[in-house]
Homo-oligomer: A and B are copies of this chain.
């Protein structure tokens, strides 16, 4: 009785998930991005022209948070705010050309991250792991591509 093993899959998942998120945070720091910024860029890339309210709902974050987030990315010229002519209260948010270029760098970072993280496994084993994780995620009701917890890494 020298302390429980305490390494179920649930614990391993939390441990590996935190590790993966931390490594990814380090990698995107080279692009001068933080996880919430990355998450916002991804949502804008997927649904260009949405209002900030819609983006906030999509990210599961309070609308007030988006203001500073959008401000920062806009000042760096990565995204653009355009007024909606039909309803001038709304902004429509788009990626700029520089933003689209950054998204390509981000995709490369993601690939390198995936390869490094899965380096312990063969191609076949990676497919098995992906299948098992997908089923667990679906059963837990997790929406594909959304990240509750660290919003946006």
Residues of A within 8 A of B (CB): 2-22, 24, 42, 45-47, 107, 110, 113-114, 117-121, 125-126, 128-130, 132-140, 142, 144-150, 153
Q: Please measure, in the bound complex, the distance between the C-alpha atom of A7 and the C-alpha atom of B137, giving whole angstroms.
A: 11
Are A19 and B153 neighbours in the complex by a CB distance under 8 Å?
no
Given A10-B24, A130-B9, A130-B12, are A139 and B119 neighbors across the interface (CB < 8 Å)?
Answer: yes
Q: Please measure, in the bound complex, the distance between the C-alpha atom of A126 and the C-alpha atom of B6, giving whole angstroms.
A: 16
User: Which residues of chain B are near A12, meaning CB under 8 Å?
Assistant: 130, 133-134, 137
User: Least Cβ distance of A103 to chain B in Å?
Assistant: 9
User: Least Cβ distance of A25 to chain B in Å?
Assistant: 10
Q: Please measure, in the bound complex, the distance between the C-alpha atom of A17 and the C-alpha atom of B120, giving whole angstroms.
A: 19
Among B3, B113, B136, B149, contact of A45 (Cβ-Cβ < 8 Å): B3
